[in-house]
Structure 1
Amino acid sequence: MALKFLKQNEIVDANRMNPLPAEVVGEIETRAVAPLIPHTYFIPNTGITDPNNILVTHADILQSSAAEQPTLAGTGKYRALVVFVAVDAVDTYHYRIFARATNSNGDPLIPTGGWASVKQGSYTPPTGATAPVHFRIDIGLTTPSEAYYDQYRIIVVRHGSGSPNAYAKVIGVR
Structure 2
Amino acid sequence: MYFEWVDYSKFSLLEKVEHSKNHRAYWEEGPLLGWNTKSNEWTRNGGQWVKLITNFCGEKYYASRFLKSEYEASKSKPSKRLVYGMTRNPVTNDYAVIERLIDRCPDCHKEWMSLRWCRGCNPKHFESERHKWTSGNSEIDDFILETQITVEFSDQALEWIPETQLTEFKLIGKGGFGTVFKAKWKE
With normalisation by structure 1, the TM-score equals 0.25
With normalisation by structure 2, the TM-score equals 0.24
Higher helix share: 2
User: Bigger radius of gyration, 1 or 2?
Assistant: 1
Higher strand share: 1
Of structures 1 and 2, the one with the larger relative CO (CA 8 A, separation 6+) is 1
